Amino acid sequence: MGQYDIALRHIALRCGDELARGLTLAFAVDSVSWVETQLTALERRIDRVLELRGGGERRLVQLEFIVAPGNDLALRMFEYAVLLVLSLRAAVDPGRGDGAIPPVESVAVLLSGRAAPWPLEGQFRTNWPESERFCGQRFRIEAVYQRKVAELMARPDVFWLVFTPLAVDATEGSIRQVVEEIRRREPRDEQRAELYAVMQVLAELAPWGQTWHKEIRMRVQELDQQSILASETLREVFEQGIEKGVEQGIEKGRKQGIEEMLRGVLARRLRRELSAVEQAAVANRASTLGDPQAAAAVFELDTEALLAWLLGPDAE
pLDDT at 203: 92
What is the tally of structural domains in the chain?
Answer: 2
Choice among 15-19, 201-205, 236-240 with the minimum mean pLDDT: 236-240
Choose between 295 and 224: higher pLDDT. Answer: 224
pLDDT band for position 259 (cuts 50, 70, 90): confident
Among the three residues 146, 170, 194, which one is the final residue of a domain in this structure? 146
The reply to whether 42 falls in a domain is yes
The reply to whether 68 falls in a domain is yes
- Is 25 in the same domain as 126? yes
- Is 246 in the same domain as 135? no
pLDDT band for position 40 (cuts 50, 70, 90): very low
CA–CA gap between residue 78 and residue 100 (Å, rounded)? 21
**What value does the mean pLDDT of the chain take?**
81
pLDDT at 44: 45
The reply to whether 72 falls in a domain is yes
What mean pLDDT is predicted for residues 35-57?
67
- Is 243 in the same domain as 141? no
- Is 141 in the same domain as 247? no
pLDDT at 275: 84
- Is 122 in the same domain as 251? no
CA distances from 242 to 15, 216, 233, 259, 292 (A): 30, 13, 15, 12, 10
Among the three residues 146, 164, 197, which one is the final residue of a domain in this structure? 146
Domain that holds residue 53: 3-146
- 13-29 per-residue burial string, b: 16 or more CB within 10 A, e: under 16: eebbbbbbbbbebebeb
The reply to whether 152 falls in a domain is no
What mean pLDDT is predicted for residues 215-237?
78
The reply to whether 206 falls in a domain is no
- Is 130 in the same domain as 25? yes
- Is 7 in the same domain as 142? yes
Its pTM surpasses 0.85: no
Choose between 182 and 282: higher pLDDT. Answer: 182
pLDDT at 50: 86
- Is 13 in the same domain as 134? yes
- Per-residue pLDDT reduced to its tens digit, 93-151: 666 655 678 899 999 999 999 999 999 999 999 999 999 999 999 999 999 999 999 99
The reply to whether 222 falls in a domain is no
- Is 135 in the same domain as 34? yes
* Three-class secondary structure of residue 31 per DSSP: strand
Contact by Cβ (8 Å): 47, 34 = no
The reply to whether 180 falls in a domain is no
Among the three residues 110, 131, 146, which one is the final residue of a domain in this structure? 146
What mean pLDDT is predicted for residues 226-242?
67
- Per-residue pLDDT reduced to its tens digit, 175-196: 999 999 999 999 998 889 889 9
The reply to whether 155 falls in a domain is no
- Is 140 in the same domain as 258? no
